[in-house]
Amino acid sequence: TGGTNQEVKGQIIVDKSGAQSGKNMINGNYTLAGNEFDIFDEQNNLVDHVTTDASGKAYSKTDLKLGKYTVVETKASQGFVKSATPQKVDLSYVGQEVPVVFDTAYETNQEVKGGITIQKTGAETGTKMWNDNYSLAGNVFKIHKDTINGEVVDEVTTDANGYAKTREDLPLGHYVVEEAQASKGFVKTFKPQDVDITYQGQNVPIVLSLTGGTNQEVKGKIVIDKSGSESKKTPWNTNYSLAGNVFDIHQDNALGKVVAQITTDANGHAETDANLPLGDYYVTESKASQGYVKSFTPQKVTLKYAGQEAALVADMAAGTNQEVTGSTSVIKQDKQTGDNSQGRATFSGAEYTLYHADGTPVKWSEPGQPTPEITSGKKVNRDQVTLRIDDDLHEAGVKHL
């Protein structure tokens, strides 16, 4: 009699995992499903093509002949890098009671990761700082996962060119870049940036995402307060005015470039526009206001960085101008002989009183008025300015009027 025996056949199971995550995906940007493999026999014939399910497993047909096979990955699933290493499997006879044998190819794929590069620039200066009071270096950013309130997964600081880079092992997904601290010379105005690290395919193991933003430069203004040396903020009369004093604002030193010219108001107040870069400035007087000597001493002012919350800084230059004053004198003479008196006549003892143009007497002491000073003659003991001439000078005079 005769008969037949059924050949033992086999099946190959491919079991794919993440190199770091195993079977537990990091987030929804990764999946074990969709990994594709070709299966070749020993003669390099393609005998099957399989695709993994959500568990990472793929099953070949069950009628493969016994022998050695090679499993080659043709497409990585989403979120993973394609492996370049073929897997060897062997469908071997294990006995007459086992009609189908199995072998498993264990495949691990490296998860695609990424990094974020941040570029910070000045809102007005870009990458070219106005001076050394400004720097692109030192801006600190926090990297949040998913939302602005999410977990902080990294913290980075910009270099001198305004760039900051995170580590390059961030999982694929959504991130929010939040400014934690502005660099020197800038206001904390860098707006939160949404960044996605997205899968770029099986041949891109590291995805780099770029985001950027600007910070407003801190600027300043200079305030000038001019007073009279003696009259302070109350001019003696209408011949004096605090308004109209002109000042030049020099950059860096007293002979530096004039970056602004300002004029005082009736209160002796003047200020520049609020657009001066931080730094040193010198205030010099260009023109004194009416009734004053050009005597305002040059003032150095410095606009200093006051922190990331202060968008505007100011510094004041305060000074005084000497009031212009006048003098008057009277000389007594004989109409015929001049300086020589005749007979019993004498120049000594003649008294003169000084009056304002409106007819009121000038006093030795009046609130808000200059104090007269005697230049010749003798003071008569009265409130008003009255002088007595002596024989020697034949003259009486006062100054500081």
Helices (H), 88-148: none
Tokens representing residue 231 in the block: 């009259």
303 shares a domain with 277: yes
- How large is the average pLDDT for residues 360-364? 83
pLDDT band at 186 (very low <50, low <70, confident <90, very high): very high
Q: Which of 20-29, 127-136, 324-333, 375-384 has the lowest mean pLDDT?
A: 324-333
Q: Which of 292-306, 312-326, 385-399 has the lowest mean pLDDT?
A: 385-399
Q: Which of 87, 109, 131 is the last residue in one of the domains?
A: 109
CA distance 171 to 236: 77
Asked whether residue 127 falls in the same domain as residue 168, the answer is yes
Position 382 in a domain: yes
Residue 4 covered by a domain:
no
| CA-CA-CA-CA dihedral for 282, 287, 290, 294, to nearest 10 | 70
Residue-number span of the structural domain to which 54 is assigned: 9-109
Tell me: do 20 and 99 sit in the same domain: yes
Task: Write down the pLDDT at residue 349.
Answer: 62
Q: Please identify which residue in the block is written with the tokens 């904390």.
A: 188
Among the candidates 57, 83, 109, a domain finishes at: 109
| Predicted pLDDT at 14 | 95
pLDDT value for 334: 53
Tokens of 190: 């860098």
pLDDT of 160 above 60: yes
Structural domain contains residue 64: yes
> What CATH code is carried by the domain that includes residue 143?
2.60.40.10
Q: Quick one: which of 313, 352, 349 has its CA closest to 329?
A: 352
pLDDT at 323: 82
Please tell me the number of Cα atoms within 13 Å of 39 on its side-chain side.
Answer: 26
Does 312 lie in the same domain as 270?
Answer: yes
Cα 10 from Cα 104, distance rounded (Å):
11
Q: pLDDT tens across 314-359, in order?
A: 999 899 988 887 777 666 555 555 555 545 555 566 677 777 888 8
**pLDDT, tens digit, for every residue of 260-270?**
999 999 999 99
- Of 67, 21, 31, the C-alpha closest to 51 is 31
Mean pLDDT across the chain:
89
Average of per-residue pLDDT across 100-110: 89
Question: Which whole number is the average pLDDT over 173-178?
Answer: 97
Within a domain: 1: no
pLDDT at 135 > cutoff 70: yes
The model's pLDDT over 237-254, given as tens digits with 9 standing for 90+, comes to: 999 999 999 999 999 998
Residue 88 lies in a domain: yes
Give the whole-angstrom CA distance, residue 171 versus residue 19: 13
Residue whose structure tokens are 């000594």: 348
Q: What is the distance between the alpha carbons of residues 111 and 202, in angstroms, rounded to a whole number?
A: 10
Please state whether beta strands 386-388 and 173-181 pair in parallel, antiparallel, or not at all (unpaired).
Answer: unpaired
Do the bridges between strand 113-122 and strand 279-287 make them parallel or antiparallel, or are there none, so unpaired?
unpaired
% residues pLDDT > 90 (the chain): 70
Q: What is the mean pLDDT of residues 353-370?
A: 81
Q: Which pLDDT does position 369 carry in this prediction? A: 83
Euclidean distance between CA atoms 350 and 130, whole angstroms: 72
Rg (CA), the chain: 47
Is 98 within the bounds of a domain? yes
Do 312 and 346 share a domain, yes or no? no
Residues 117 and 212 in one domain: yes
Q: What is the pLDDT of residues 4-18, one digit of tens each?
A: 667 778 899 999 999
The least confident of 70-79, 101-110, 128-137, 201-210 is 101-110
Looking at 100-223, list the stretches that DSSP marks H as alpha helix, in order from N- to C-terminal side. none
58 vs 40: CA distance, rounded Å: 15
For the stretch 54-65, pLDDT in tens is 999 999 999 999
Domains held by the chain: number: 4
Distance (Å, whole) CA 274 – CA 310: 13
In a domain, 91, yes or no: yes
Q: To 5 degrees, how large is the angle CA 171–CA 173–CA 177?
A: 95
User: If you average pLDDT over residues 367-390, what whole number do you get?
Assistant: 78
Q: How far apart are CA 154 and CA 146, in angstroms?
A: 13
Each residue's pLDDT tens digit, 227-240 = 998 899 999 899 99
SS3 of 332, please? coil
DSSP string, 176-231: EEEEEEPPTTB-S----EEEEE----TT-SEEEEEEEEEEPBPEEEEEEEEEETTT
Say what the pLDDT of residue 192 is.
Answer: 96
The helix/strand count (H/E) of the chain reads as 0, 30
- Structure-block tokens of residue 346: 């004498």
Same domain, 230 and 309: yes
What is the per-residue pLDDT for 372? 80
Q: Are strands 299-303 and 279-287 parallel, antiparallel or unpaired?
A: antiparallel
Summarize the confidence of residues 288-300 as an average pLDDT: 92
Longest distance between any two alpha carbons in the chain, whole Å: 188
